[in-house]
Amino acid sequence: MSTAHKLLADALGSIVLIKLRSGVVRGKLRTFDMHLNIVLEDAEEVKENGSKPLGKILIRGDSVVFVSPVLNG
């Protein structure tokens, strides 16, 4: 398992922040595959003036720039 996939596997069930080519989303990481296609639950689009609820979403892997676990505290 690659380092990137291990990081994602460790973050399953946790809140992650995902930078996309077209913006930023945050949500609970439910699953992912080898192409970095990602399913988030309780997702929201993060904007400068707040956030927009999206619910459960599928993100295509080729649009992902980076994924970061959100630290509590």
The reported pLDDT for the residue numbered 3 is: 82
52 strand-pairing partners:
45
The whole-number average pLDDT for the span 29-41 is 96
The reported pLDDT for the residue numbered 47 is: 94
CATH number of the domain at 3-69, please? 2.30.30.100
* Sheet architecture: strand order including 50-59: 50-59, 38-47, 23-32, 15-20, 64-69
pLDDT in tens, 7-29: 899 999 999 999 999 999 999 99
The whole-number average pLDDT for the span 64-69 is 94
Mean per-residue pLDDT of the chain: 94
The reported pLDDT for the residue numbered 22 is: 94
